[in-house]
Amino acid sequence: MKLKHLQSQLEDVQPFEKAKFALEQYPTTPHLAAHMLTFIDTEYDDIEDQVVCDLGVGCGMLSIGASILGAGACIGVDIDPDALEIAKHNLTRFEVEADLVLCDLGTSSPFANRPVADVVLMNPPFGTKNAGIDTKFLTHAVSIARKAVYSLHKSSTREHIVKTAERLGATCEVLAELKFNIGKTMAMHKQKNVDVYVDLVRLDVSAM
């Protein structure tokens, strides 16, 4: 019930006006966000009252969902001012208090060098257009999370993601494989709908 309710609320989050191919802006769908967040909340209790950072916040889908589920504070970071404009509009409509920071996570992190967040939730670029960007996001995430990082990655890159997580000193668990419909978001896609399989991974950083 909670899941369906959250998903239907998140249907109202306005997506990118024009997704930017170079930034791999695949909007997190309400379906994906609701499943991911409900699972994290019920299985790990890692949302309520937590400080949540959302790296690559885009239009704010995960931050809004986390706030609805009772996150104590959400901070979203993105390189794209256009996306942050839409995110801000979404936050206002949902009456969600989250902060937004403009920063290029490909070159640097805006956060102090300490675990400023309890958890990081993210749907980062997959690294198919910008090789290595997924690793950079994971590196930043692990450096600022006190407990855990939850992240979405293409299932085809699973081995690389698990290795990267372990190299960073985290233990990595693939929690679920989800179908991510990225159809119609990119003008260059020939088919109308493209299903991509993504892993929801959990990096446990509590022992670091």
Partner 1 sequence: MRLVTHNMLMCNLKSCTKDKFPLKVTDFTIEESDVDPNPDFLIGLLPKLEWGALVGTAKALGVGDELPSKIPEDASEDADFLTALHHVIMEVEIKEAKLVCNGCGRVFPVSKGVPNMVLREDEV
Please, are residues 29 and 36 in contact by the beta-carbon 8 Å criterion?
A: no
The binding track of 58-77 with respect to partner 1, each residue x by CB under 8 A or -, is --------------xx-x--
Residue 121 found at the interface with partner 1 (CB under 8 A): no
How many positions of this chain bind partner 1 (CB under 8 A)?
29
Closest separation between CB of residue 80 and partner 1, Å?
10
Cβ distance to partner 1 smaller for residue 44 or 157: 44
The binding track of 134-153 with respect to partner 1, each residue x by CB under 8 A or -, is ----------x-x-------
Please state whether 56 falls in left (phi above 0), alpha (psi between -120 and 50) or beta: left
* Chosen residue from 38, 63, 90, 109 binding partner 1 by CB under 8 A: 109
Cβ distance to partner 1 smaller for residue 101 or 208: 101
Sign, CA torsion 82/6/127/135: positive
Residue 49 found at the interface with partner 1 (CB under 8 A): yes
Residue 208 found at the interface with partner 1 (CB under 8 A): no
Please, are residues 202 and 149 in contact by the beta-carbon 8 Å criterion?
A: yes
Residue 132 found at the interface with partner 1 (CB under 8 A): no
> Is 77 buried (19+), middle (13-18) or exposed (0-12) by CB count in 10 A?
buried
Look at strands 195-204 and 171-181 and give their pairing.
antiparallel
